[in-house]
Chain A
Amino acid sequence: MSYRPSEKLKPLANALAGLLSNKNKDNIAIANVLEQLAVDEVAAPAIAAPTEHDIELSPGMNIGIWKQVEQDGKTLYSRDVKKQLEWGLWANVHEIPPKSNKQRVLLFGESAARTVFYDPGYNLSMEMEHMLSANVQLGEIEIVDLARTSMLLRDLIPLMHSSVALEPDAVIIFAGNNWVFQLHEQEYDYHQLLNICKEKGLQGMKSFMEEEMKKIVLSALGEIKQAFTDRQVPVLFIIPEFNLLDWKSNELERILPALPGNQGLEWLSAREEAEKTLLEEDLEGLGAAAQKMIHADPSNPYGLELLADYYIGTGNLEEARRCLEIARDAILFNRSSKSMPRRLKVIRDTILDAAVEHGIRTLDMEDIFKTGYGSLLPGRQLFLDNCHLTIDGVKLIARYTSASIVEILTGEKCDVETLVVSTLAPDDEIIAHAHFGAAIYNAHYGQSREIIEYHCKRAYIFSPEISNIMRKYIDFATRMASTLLCRSFEELIVEEDLKQYMGGYTLRHPRNTKLMDIPLIDAISNTLRAGGIDIDQEVNVLRLKEHAIQDRPVDLLASYYCQRSYHNFFVKNKPFFFEARQKESSFYFVSNAEQDLTFDFVYRSVATKGSSEVKVMLNDQETPVAGLTPSRDWEPVRFVVEKERLQKGLNELKIIWPYIPLPLTVNGTLTAESFLLALFPVIGEISQLTAISK
């Protein structure tokens, strides 16, 4: 369609643009001009592009990375070379053969089903196939592993539909950890959300998001029914569990929202009190302070985690579980863009409620773990990180799953206890590499030094040779150059023969976002020292060589120095400057402590003159380096740190911001971004922080 709108409409378009651009919108005038402009009448019809859903909702030519191939009159599926970059996310299987006389079970799922820390040397699919093969009443059986790391619900649905072509006898779906991310892909009416927040508080928003999540889960169950149960293919859904005990919120996931009155100040004060009681091992004090934190900010996972610590201390594991589950579900508030996958309570409840009517059989990991471990909370024994299972966890799930599959395929009751125990086990090297990978993952997502060191030590116990990998890791993590370009990374790939992590490739840091990995390197150093290898000097020399501040300004806002983990505030479109939503902002720098350092610092804060100072602290020293006047305008200051106050090697500069409670106020046009920015307001900003030796 070709057309040229009338010239006469140009003045109207100009008028309408003027009205729309005016901050005080005159809606009546806008409606009048719109009517005259009749935008819709001159519009060409929109052409709807076919969606992915339209394209791939039927049994198809492609199943994930596998492409249909005709060979000797038979149809099989072979890995598509065009999708080679994606191969590492799937099972290391080049070809899915034509259906034979074996019973065929498809396994769908995310990285938890992929058993990502052990794969491809060992995984859930292997464990189940091993176990099922040992149970002769089934005859020959094969598991086709279609699990994919980072599988989103929108990817899972077309995959399920296309996989019908594989003629499955049964289907296992071990998914749900990534379904929460579907919430991020929806559009919302932010006026409605803003009203909910104002009228019902953050709990109202949580209820709203849970309702949305419920709709997503029900829709997914509908798709499963359509793909399989309507075709008389039985489905077993494994509902995932979360590492409640050993995966905690990161500092960014603890930022304060806009709270009414002085609740923000109350939360901060209660936090200080709670952390003090923790140090003093005052359990009752901890419980009381944690309750205050929850009262002040019920959306914040930290108070709940501390209260869980209290309940664990008093032996009340049921209450501890309740607290940790609510803390886990705080992801619904979207503080961090990198909150790790997890199954929420609403996901589990919805699946359990609706599965039967969709013809889906369920296996609830929460129940299985309770059966296996009593009231113990799921922790490091079952999980390597937030949701990926240890070998104990894999074996437990595989047993129950196998029992269910036997029942499905034979129609007869199968008691778990009667199943032959699988003797399949990965070798020590694979286990060591899994624990070291877990240490990295825990470190990169802001977990405690204790759990990072636990995994390093486990890795070393299983295979002391891992010290070579650890030392190479320290080298490429400490260098300024991109990990992929580092000699030590190349050597890791060539010399270490890693079975996991695509031969070590996925251990790289993302381009232009490198961390200094201090807690991880400390954990490695401690581990090796305990094994008789002292690398402290080596680490310090390399750090000084790569990072020591000399005669060129070093930008402390670069990721090496200002970022502690890969958590980022949820809003994707970040400003060019550093934003602080926590009271403390921390920056590493490296000094040879031989010369004074000059810092150029440009900042602004929500607090204004008259509030308490913006304090600059160094290395836990009690005397501030500088006390600065809070200012809403960008304030450039220069301060000098004398060499006597510096440590040779790593130093830490902390900015302590004054906290001012802010009401929920949206600036500018109400969008997803402005809504979140209003919900989690900044308290300080830094547009420059450089250091130079002079």
Chain B
Amino acid sequence: MNIIGISAFFHDAACCLIKDGVLTAAAEEERFTRIKADPSLPKQAFKFCLEQGGITLADVDCIAYYEDPQKKLARQLWSGILKNDEGWLQRINPNMVDEQIRSKLGFNGAIKYYDHHLSHGASSFYFSGFENAAVLTVDGVGEWATTTYATGSGNKLEIFEQVEFPDSIGLLYSTITSFLGFGVNDGEYKVMGLAPYGRPLYTNEIRKLIQEEDGGQFRLNMKYFDFIAGNRMYSDALGELFGLPPREEDLEMEQVHKDIARSMQKVLEEILIAKANYLYERTGSENLCMAGGVALNCVANGQVLRHTPFKNLFVQPAANDAGGAIGAAALAYVELTGSRPKGGRLQHVYLGPGYSSKETQQLLEATSIRYTAFPQTGALVEATAARINEGKVIGWFQGRMEFGPRSLGARSILADPRSPVMRDRINAMVKKREGFRPFAPAVLDKRAESHFDLDHASPFMLETCQVISELDLPAITHVDGSARVQTVHRDTNERFYELLRAFDRLTGCPILLNTSFNIKGEPIVCTPEDALRCFITTDIDCLILGDYIIDREENNFDLLKLLLLHDVVRQSGITHEVYTFV
């Protein structure tokens, strides 16, 4: 039984394969096309899934799509989004998804459509390992729903209540994101990172934007929003409410902006805690599953777990729309077989493409680059750990690529978390991002409790906790003393685990700074060639490309850098002015 799951035509298009009940492959289309958040039909990701699964198109039993196009169209019609497009009635193609899957993927078999939030819920529940759970999904909008409450039991997943568009926690957060001068669908996590620098002085104002109602419901005060019209997120009234104009992207970040971010984060946490408590009352389960873009707010997730009766939390690591693909595929698998997908709790997300040592060697041999081969893992990690200890910033490319927005030791930039200058250094040399945003730590699983206030595994970097280490870890400790921790386990990423061990042996620190291997505005690297390009065009000190180490100091990349920088046309698949509803 081969089931393909697809999310597409919104943002973060992705494809996955569930082969005989096992999640075998998953990847976002952006990684192949190099178009950030590429929303287009994931043709290359689809081809990868077939190859990875060792199957052909003729072997696919079903394609599961993560959304119901007809319901989505209804919501678009209701909100009048299509009206700005002259001649919309003639141009509209309600069967577009079906036609695209048939014509561009060549698939003639059954296509099953599942609601957007049901797909999100399934992506969490069916991979949580919980026999029963309460399921909370929160994002901008799917079809009608923006928030859903569901129960999962065995192979059943049922939504019992939903909040509908335009009342949306995700859109509220995106509106404040936009007001603070960050891109919608892109800058929400920056607001989360900015929040600890501020004071909650604007919570009263933010509470005027959203009114809590009975049960799971809440309602936005649309006086302050303009996203239905489709041109911008907020109305002029929002600026009047805060007593200041919207911040423009390039302007200085002032304390008031940090205060608004802190206030937004606080109100978000309050609402999520309230609604999670309601969900607990309704379901009685001690297990909570979360998904949807808002579930990537790891600070809020931690608060939910601490301030509700839930004892266990599972957040789908690809909680954004990309993860909808695996939720839809899981739903189809349950529908066709009556069983849940196999494998229990999701152990890792190394579900993307991997490359052989021979392919990497062939690439390097074609270039003028000086490199050293380390065919033994032991020697490779010792050499890498030594470089990190010297203060070097490392591009780390190993094994199969991660699925989801987080780099977890397959396509990562690594550095010494003890260095007080490392955050600024990495920001300056590669990430080119706002200095206030923290980097995350990766820690040996067995040593996590000694350094972080964490009593369970956190393999997906989706929770924050306090840093309690005796070590000084300025590069990964946020201003409020928190960190977004990834615990690293030998059985899911042995080479990364061995690297952490090697660094621990060398320094007594079993922790590394871990951030995504990409340049600002580009998707995370996918192939060895992407990694080389990223390495050469930034100032990363050293690239560990499979079994090979390339040191910048042994190479002169001036010409290559110039050539590659000329070759770069950064593309984004979505607009950041307003939430893309269509």
Contact = CB atoms under 8 A, between A and B. Distances in A.
Contacts of B59: 636
Interface stretch (A138-146, A268-276, A340-348, A485-493): A485-493
Given A2-B226, A602-B58, A484 B103 contact: no
B222 A17 contact: no
A13 B226 CA distance: 21
A39 B51 CA distance: 46
A546 interface: yes
B110 interface: no
Interface stretch (A40-48, A205-213, A461-469, A645-653): A40-48
Given A44-B80, A552-B356, A634 B58 contact: yes
Contacts of B356: 552
A10 B106 contact: no
B311 interface: no
Interface string A24-53: 000000000010010110111011000000
A187 B463 CA distance: 50
A44 B231 CA distance: 10
A85 interface: yes
Contacts of B102: 668
Interface stretch (B124-132, B414-422, B495-503, B561-569): B561-569
A578 to B, nearest CB: 10
Given A2-B226, A18-B70, A46-B84, A669 B43 contact: no
Contacts of B367: 481, 485-487
Contact of A687 (B57, B95, B96, B363): B57
A486 to B, nearest CB: 5
Interface in B520-536: 529, 532-533
Given A16-B74, A634-B58, A482 B560 contact: no
A487 B166 contact: no
Interface in A657-689: 667-669, 671, 677, 685, 687-688
Interface stretch (A66-74, A167-175, A360-368, A569-577): A569-577
Contacts of A555: 51
B362 interface: yes
B244 interface: no
Contact of A17 (B43, B71, B228, B366): B71
A575 B104 contact: yes
Interface residues of A, number: 66
> Interface size bucket, B side?
35 or more
Contacts of B354: none
Given A2-B224, A5-B79, A13 B74 contact: yes
B47 interface: yes
A576 B95 contact: no
A44 B567 contact: no
A554 to B, nearest CB: 12
A480 B355 CA distance: 14
Given A42-B80, A576-B44, A480 B362 contact: yes
B75 interface: yes
Interface string B411-430: 00000000000000000000
Most chain B C-beta atoms within 10 Å of own C-beta, residue among A18, A491, A574:
A18
A636 B58 contact: yes
A17 B56 contact: no
Contacts of B237: 2
Given A5-B228, A575-B43, A669-B95, A44 B84 contact: yes
Interface string A388-417: 000000000000000000000000000000
A5 B78 contact: yes
A87 to B, nearest CB: 10
B419 to A, nearest CB: 31
Contact of A2 (B73, B79, B104, B235): B235
A508 B95 CA distance: 41
A285 B458 CA distance: 78
Given A481-B529, A668-B95, A633 B560 contact: no
6 contacts: A1-B235, A2-B229, A546-B362, A552-B358, A573-B104, A671-B93
Interface of B: 40, 43-44, 46-47, 50-51, 56-59, 69-71, 73-75, 77-80, 82-84, 86, 89, 92-96, 99, 102-106, 108, 144, 166, 222-226, 228-231, 235, 237, 356, 358, 362-363, 366-368, 529, 532-533, 559-560, 563-564, 566-567
Given A44-B229, A484-B560, 4 more contacts: A17-B74, A485-B560, A508-B567, A576-B106
